[in-house]
Structure 1
Amino acid sequence: MISAVLRHQFLPRLLSVSRISTTRRNNGFIVLVPEIGENGDGSSNLSKPDGLPEFTHITVEKCLAAIGTEARSVEKLVEETEQLVQSKDQLNVYADILDPFEHAIKDLETTWGVAKALYLGSSTLMPTTYYLNIHERAQRARAARFNSKPIFDCLSTADPKSVEAGSPEGKQLVKKYLLEGRLNGITLQPDERLNLTQTLTELNKEKSTYRSKVETAIKQFSHVIKDYSLVRAFPPTLLEAIAVNDEEPTKGPWKVTLQPDIVKGVLEYCPDRVERWNVWQADVRKASSHTEKSLATSTHLENIRSLRKRQANLLGFPDFATMSMETKMAKDVPYVREILNSLLSYAFPAQVQEVETLQKFADESNFGHKLELCDILYWKRKHLNAVYNYDEERIREYFPLPRVITGIFHLLEKLFHVTIVERENVEAWHPSVKYYDVFNEGNQSELLGGFYLDCYSQKGRRGKEGWMVAIRNRSDVTQTKPLCSLVFNFPTPVYGKPSLLSIDDMGTIFRNFGKCMQHILTQVRYSDLAGLSNIEWDAAEVCGKVMEFFLKDPNVLVNLSGHYSTEEEIPAELLDSIKIYQNYMAGYDLCKELYIANLDLELHSSNDFWQDIVRKLWPNYINFELDKKDSHPCSMVNIFAGEWGAAYFSHIMSKIVAADVYSTFVENGRTDVGQRLKSTFFAYGGSVGTAEIFRRFRGRDLSPDALIGTLQLNRVNERS
C-alpha cells in the first residue's frame, strides 16, 4: 500500500469562489483555473490575529498563492536540509531536521485544511478542479521530506538512544520517516526505483480509468417511475432526491439513479418486487461486460491487481496484501484472517437463522416467493415495523437536532472533563456555521482547541456521511492549538420545525464527534503524530466508533431525546424498538462486511481471476446463491480506484477495538473510564502503536468477544 503520508482521508475540493474568470463559448463555459504561484507572500491573509481563518476574505486566488508559497518553502527546506546533513559531521535530529520541518509544514497544513473544510461545506464554494490543484500541490510538498535519500540515510544511522532521549515521541517520528521512505522506494537501486515510478504511473492511470468508467456508468443509468403507488411509502428526503421536480416531490415523475443512497432507498421502500429486482440488477452489474461494453472495468481491475503486485515485489514483499500490513495494527495477513474467521463462526449461523425468520414473516404476509438479496431491505423494514413497532419517522420526532447536539456536548463534557463554549461572531463559510472552543473543565484560561459545526445541507453538498476535517494539528514546537470542522448534511429547519434525526443520523454525529475529541484532546508534541495522524489504518476509526456505541445505552438516548413540539422524553416502547433495530440482522450485516474484507485480501494476494475468487468465497459468507451476472467487484471504487486496496478489513478491526473499549464503560462506569480513554487513545494519537495503547487502556490484548457480545450473536461451534 502507498504510504499513509501520501494518502489523505478526504479527496476534497476548494474554497470560496471569487473573481473566477469564465469565457462563454457555445453552450457552456471554459473555466480558467488560476495557476499556483511559487513566489510572494501567499499565507498572510488566510488567518486573523486570533489564529482562526479569515473565511469572509478567502478567495481562490489567495488560497492558490498561499499553497504555492508554502509548498515551495517546504521544498526549499528539504533542499537545505539535504545540504546540511551531507556537510555536517554531527547533527541534532531535533534541531536540524524534525523541529524545522514542524515549523515549515504548519502553514501548508492549515491552508490545505481550510480548503478541505470549504469544499466539504459546499462544493459550489470551491469546484473540484480548483481543489485538486491545491490538493496535489500540497500533497507533493508534504511528501518531499519523506522522499529525500540524504534525510533518510541520516535518520537511519542516527543514535537511537539520543533520539529517544530528546523526546518521548522522537523515536516514533523517526520511525515514520523511515517507513515512509522505504514504502516510497528510497532503499532501491536507481533502476529499480525507476521501475517503481513507472509502475505507480501506470497504476494511477488504470485507477483513474476505472473510477471514470464507474462514475459514468452510475450517471448513465436512469429509470423513470410514473406510478405514485410505487413511491407512496418513500420518506420525504428520498422522494425529493428522485423527483424530477424537487419542488413538487409528490407529483412525479421520479427518476431512479444508481447513487448508493437512491439504490438503498428503492430497495427498502419500493413495494413492487420487479422494480426492486431491476434496480438491484443494474447496481450489481454496473461497469461490467453485462452492460455497456465500453464502460466495462474488468480488464482495468486485473491490471490494477497486477501493478499492485509488481509494486509490492519491487519493495520486497510477496504480494500487495502483505505490503499493506506495514501500515496496519494487525501486522500480518494470517492474523487478520484468523480474526475475521472467528467472527464468521458466529455471524454465519446467525445469518441463516435471521433469513429463515424473515422468510417466515414474508410467507405469512403472502409474499409467495423465496427471498432474494433484492428483497432483504424491504422485508427487513416491514418486519421491524410489524413485529417490533419500529417506526423511524415517529422516532425522529423525539430527536430534534439542537437537542441532540446539546446532549452530546453534555456527554462529552462529563466523559472527558472538558467545557465546550460557543464563541460568538466568528467568521465561517455560511451564516449557520457555529464555532466552539474546548477548555479543560473548570479552567477557561486553558484552551485545548476548537471546532466549527456545520450541520445543515447546503447547495452542492452531497451524501449523508458527515465528516471531521482536520484544519490544523496540535504542535508544541509551533505552539499551535488543534482546529477542525464538523460537516453534516441534515435538512435545514423549515417553518419553525427543527431537523429531526434518525438513529443512523445520530450515529454519524457521534462518530464524528469522537474523531473531533481525539483531534483536540491529543497531547503529542509533533503534528505528524498528533490526533489522528500516523494512526494505523485499522485503528483510525476506533474513537469514533467508541462514541457511536454510546447510542446503545438507553440512558444516553433518553438524555438526547425530547419531542420537537411537546419536549416529552422518548417513550419506553420506542426505546425497546430502537434496541431491536440496533442489532437486527447483525449476523447478515457482519457476514457482508466479512465477505468484502476477505475478498479484498484474496484479490490482493492471489493470482486467480477475480470471478473465480468471488465464486470461491461467496458461499462461505452469503446465504444466497450468487447471481450469474453479479459483477460487484467491477464497481468497488474505494478498493480499486481509491486507497482501500487490501485495507477494507480495517473497518472491522476498528469496530473490534472500539467494542472492547466500550465494554470497559459498561463494566466500570463512565467517568473514570472516560478519563482513561482521554489519557490513552486521545492523548497518545499516533505517537504509540494502537496495540500498545490498548494494552495500557485495557490491561490485556485485544479480543473479538466484546463485538460478538455487543451484536448479540449466538455463540455456536465452528462451522464444519
Structure 2
Amino acid sequence: MYTVFRRSGLINSVKQSQYISNRNAGYIVLVPEIGEDTHAADGVLKPDGLPAFNDITIENCLGAIGQQAGLVEKTVKNFENDIQENKVNVSNLRGIFEELDKVAGPLDTTWGIAKALYLGNSTLIPTKSYMNIHERARIARASKYNSKVLYDALSQQEGNVQGVEARLLQRFLLEGKLNGLTHTEDKRETLRDILVQLGKERASFKNKVNMAVHTFGHTIKDYNLVRDFPVTLLEAISKDSTSLTEGPWKITLQPQIVEGFLKYYPDRMQRWNVWQANVRKASGQQERSLENSTHLQGIRALRKRQANLLGYPNYAAMSMQTKMIKSVDNLKQVFANLVKFAGPAQSTEIEQLQNFAIESGFQNKLDVYDVAYWQRKHLIANHQLNEEHLRQYFPLPNVFTGLFKLSENLFNIRIVERQNVEVWQPAVKYYDVFDNSAGGGVSPIAGFYIDCYSKENKFGKNNGWMVSIRNRNPSAELTPLCALIFNFTEPLQGTPYLLNFDDLNMVFKTFGSALQHLLTKAPYTDLAGLSNIEWDASQVAGNVMCNFLDNPTILKELSKHYTSNEALSDDVLQKIHLLKTSLAGYNLCQELYMADLDIELHQSDAFWLDVVKKLWPVYQCMPLDKKDAHPCSLTEIFSGDWGAAQFSHLYSKVIAADISSEFADKSPAEMTTTGQRFKETFLALGGSVPTAEVFRRFRGRDPSVEALLKSLNILNKTQTTGDL
C-alpha cells in the first residue's frame, strides 16, 4: 500500500486526501479540547524552523492548532467585513491570496507535525487526540472556501487575471460551487442535510465491513502449509510474532492477508473458502445484520441527489470537474482503448497458465482464487524468479543510497543527511535537499524525514506514506518539509531489512511523490507540490519513479546481496521485469473492471448487482460466481474518498508510462537532460498549471495509452490490430 497524506483537495469526495471528509460550514461542532487563546504554538518549532520533537506534547499540539485555526478563521472574517465595507481592493488578488497563505502556514505546519507523529508512533499522538487536531485544522483550512462573501467578491474577478492568480481563483470558484455557494441558503441547507445523511451511511458501510472482516477466522496448525509465506505475512497471522514458525496461524479477511494467502497457500479448497468469504462479506450471502446492500444503494442515491442539487446529471459527472480526464465520455474511450488489447492478452495468459498448471499435476479448470498461486509457481519453475530469494539483493540502506543517487543525477539536486536533528524516535533520519541549478545549492530548498520502522500495523503488507508537514509558502517564509513513513519490521542488530519487489516499488513511488512536494516552485501553498493537482494525476510522479525499476542498469545499481555484496546477475536482471508483465493483461483487466464499475455505479440507476452482471463479461474471462457480492465491501469507493474516482489509480499509470517512455533508451547524459525537463514541469509547477498543459509542455502532445501497453508487454501477447 502507498498513500499520500496532504491537505489539498476539493469538497464532497470529488477530490480529497485520505483524512479529509465532506466539509460544509454550519453543522460541525468544534471539539472542546482545543483552546483558541493559548500560546502553545511557541513550543512546536525551533528557531531553525524544524519541529521541536523533543519538546512537543499532545497539549501544545492541541493548543497550537486552536490558536492557529482561530487566526485563520479570524482573517477570513476580517476579509468578509472589509469587503462588505468596501475597505479592500478585491482586484488585488495577489494581496488577498498572500495574506491567506501567511496565516495558513503555521496551521499547516502544526497539522503536519501531528500527522507525522500519529503515523510514526500513535502512542505519541493517540487517535482521539489526532482526530481532534485534524478536524479542527480541516474546518479552519476550509473556511475560506466556505465564505459566500469572499466567493461572490472573487467571482467578479474571473477573466480579469492571468497566470497563477487565475489558477488559484479557479480553485476558489470551483470549491465554492461544490460547497453550494452559488445557491440560496435553503438549497445550501438541503445540501448540508444530504451530506450529514451521506456521512452516516458511509460510516455504517465501513463499520459493517470492519465487523465482517473480524468475524471470519481460519486457523492453520501445520507449518508445512505456511512455510512459503513471506515474513511480513507470517508476522501478521502468527499468534506469537516473535516465533513465526511455531503457530498457530490465523487467517482473517484483512485485504493484504487474503491477497497473500491466495498467492502462497497450497490447499485449493481452503483458498476457495477464504476467497468466497472475502467476496461475500458484508452482503446478504453472509450475516444478515452486516449486509451492506442497503447502505450501498443509499450512498448511491444520496450522491446523485448531491450532484443534481449542484447542477450535475449524476455523481460521476460531478467528479469529472476535478479530474484531468474531464468527462466520462473521454474516460470510457480510454477504457475501450485499453481493453481492446488487454482483453485478448488476458485470455492468452490464462490459457498458458492453465497449461502450466495441468503439466504440474493440477486437474481442475483455473478459477479466480487459483491465478495468483499458479502465477507464482510458474515464475519460479520457468524463470527461476523467487520473490523471497530476490529480497536478499535489496537491503534497505543500499536501496535508499541508490534512490538518492538516481534522483541527484536526474534532477541536479543534492540530498544530504543532517546530524543532531530532533526526531520522534531514534531510527528516524533527516535530510536537506539542495538544488544545484538554483544559485549553486548553497542553502537547502527543502527537507524530509525518513522513518522506516513506524509502529503501524501492516496486516501482512508493508505500507508507505508521504506526509506533508508543510508546503512551500513564500508568504509565510516556509520551505517544503515532509516525512516518509514506512512500517518495515525493525531488523535484528547488524542485519539490514530486505525489500521484496513490491516494497521496492512502494519506496520509489512514495519518494516520487515526495520529490513533487519538495521541488515545487509554485508561489502559493494551495498550488504548490501536490496541492490542486487533479486527482487522476496525483500519483504520476510516484509512478514515474517506479518505472525506473524497469531499467536493468538502474536496478543493478540498487542490488547488492546483503552478505556477499554481489549485484544481481544480468540474466536475472533481464527476467525480473516478468514480475510486472507475466499476467499484465489479466491484471489490467481487473483494474479496468473496478474503474468502470465505480463509474457505472455513480451514473446508472440500475441495481448494483445488475451493473456487475453487465460489466463483468466485458473485462473478465472467468465466470462470475453466483454469490459474489464484492461491491458490498468496497470501502475505498463507498466509505472512502474514491467514489467515481477509482480510475485515478490507473490513469496516473497511463500518464506516467507515457512520460517514462521519454527516458527510455537514452544515455546517462540524455536522461539527465530529460530529467531536468521533468523537474521543471511536473515537479516544479505543482497545481499552478493544469496537468494536461504540463504534459503537453513535457511531451509536446496529448497522452496516449500506447506506452502503458508497451511497458506491460501486452502488445506482444495479442494479434489484435487497430488504432490506439
Q: TM-score, normalised by structure 1?
A: 0.94
Pairing 1:372–2:367 present: yes
Pairing 1:65–2:63 present: yes
1:447 is matched with which residue: 444, 449, 460?
A: 444
- How far is 1:58 from its partner? 1.2
Q: In the aligned structure 1, how far is the partner of 2:401 from the partner of 2:611?
A: 49
Q: In the aligned structure 2, how far is the partner of 1:216 from the partner of 1:422?
A: 44
- Partner secondary structure for residue 363 of structure 2: coil
- Structure 1 residues 394 and 460: alpha-carbon distance in aligned structure 2, compared to 1, 3 A threshold: closer
Which residue matches 1:434?
Answer: 429
Which residue matches 1:252?
Answer: 247
Listed as ranges, the matches of 1:287-436 within 5 Å are 287-436=282-431
Deviation per residue, 1:219-266 (Å, 9 max, x gap): 221111122222122223222221112222211111111111111111
Which residue matches 2:721?
Answer: 717
Listed as ranges, the matches of 1:319-718 within 5 Å are 319-441=314-436, 443-458=440-455, 464-666=462-664, 668=666, 669-714=670-715, 716-717=720-721
Q: Which amino acid aligns with 1:246?
A: S
Q: Which amino acid aligns with 2:721?
A: N
Q: Which amino acid aligns with 2:210?
A: E
Which residue matches 2:99?
Answer: 100
Q: In the aligned structure 1, how far is the partner of 2:381 from the partner of 2:158?
A: 68
Q: In the aligned structure 1, how far is the partner of 2:616 from the partner of 2:486?
A: 35
- How far is 1:135 from its partner? 1.0
- How far is 1:2 from its partner? 5.7
- How far is 1:157 from its partner? 0.5
Q: In the aligned structure 1, how far is the partner of 2:220 from the partner of 2:339?
A: 39
Q: Which amino acid aligns with 1:697?
A: F
Deviation per residue, 1:312-369 (Å, 9 max, x gap): 0000000000000010011110000001110000101000000000000010111100
Which residue matches 1:10?
Answer: 18
Pairing 1:122–2:121 present: yes
- 2:119–2:456: 8 Å Cα contact kept in structure 1? no
Q: Which amino acid aligns with 1:656?
A: V
Unaligned segments of structure 1, at least 5 residues: 14-32
Which residue matches 2:203?
Answer: 208
- How far is 1:376 from its partner? 0.7
Moved more, 273-282 or 3-12: 3-12
- How far is 1:465 from its partner? 2.4
- 2:40–2:61: 8 Å Cα contact kept in structure 1? yes
- Partner secondary structure for residue 421 of structure 1: strand
Q: In the aligned structure 1, how far is the partner of 2:457 from the partner of 2:707?
A: 40
Q: Which amino acid aligns with 1:265?
A: G
Q: In the aligned structure 2, how far is the partner of 1:457 from the partner of 1:189?
A: 48
Deviation per residue, 1:139-187 (Å, 9 max, x gap): 11111110111100111102633x33xxx31110111101100000000
Which residue matches 1:24?
Answer: none
- How far is 1:9 from its partner? 2.2
- Structure 1 residues 200 and 713: alpha-carbon distance in aligned structure 2, compared to 1, 3 A threshold: same
Moved more, 441-450 or 285-294: 441-450
Identity among equivalent positions (%) equals 51
- How far is 1:97 from its partner? 2.0
Moved more, 580-589 or 37-46: 37-46
Q: In the aligned structure 1, how far is the partner of 2:259 from the partner of 2:391?
A: 19
Q: In the aligned structure 1, how far is the partner of 2:408 from the partner of 2:370?
A: 43
Q: Which amino acid aligns with 1:682?
A: L
- Partner secondary structure for residue 160 of structure 1: coil
Q: TM-score, normalised by structure 2?
A: 0.94
- How far is 1:634 from its partner? 0.5
- How far is 1:86 from its partner? 1.1
* Alpha-carbon RMSD: 1.8
Q: In the aligned structure 2, how far is the partner of 1:209 from the partner of 1:2?
A: 23
- 1:5–1:180: 8 Å Cα contact kept in structure 2? no
- 1:12–1:132: 8 Å Cα contact kept in structure 2? no
- How far is 1:43 from its partner? 1.4
Q: In the aligned structure 1, how far is the partner of 2:126 from the partner of 2:452?
A: 21
Q: In the aligned structure 2, how far is the partner of 1:95 from the partner of 1:600?
A: 39
Which residue matches 1:188?
Answer: 183
Which residue matches 2:238?
Answer: 243
Q: Which amino acid aligns with 1:717?
A: T
Give the structure, 1 or 2, with the largest relative contact order (CA under 8 Å, sep 6 or more).
2
Q: Which amino acid aligns with 1:209?
A: S
- Structure 1 residues 718 and 285: alpha-carbon distance in aligned structure 2, compared to 1, 3 A threshold: farther
- How far is 1:573 from its partner? 2.4
Pairing 1:79–2:80 present: no
Q: In the aligned structure 1, how far is the partner of 2:147 from the partner of 2:416?
A: 43
Which residue matches 2:156?
Answer: 157
Moved more, 612-621 or 476-485: 476-485
- How far is 1:480 from its partner? 1.1
Deviation per residue, 1:522-563 (Å, 9 max, x gap): 111000000000000000000000000000000001111111
Q: Which amino acid aligns with 1:121?
A: G
- Partner secondary structure for residue 54 of structure 1: coil
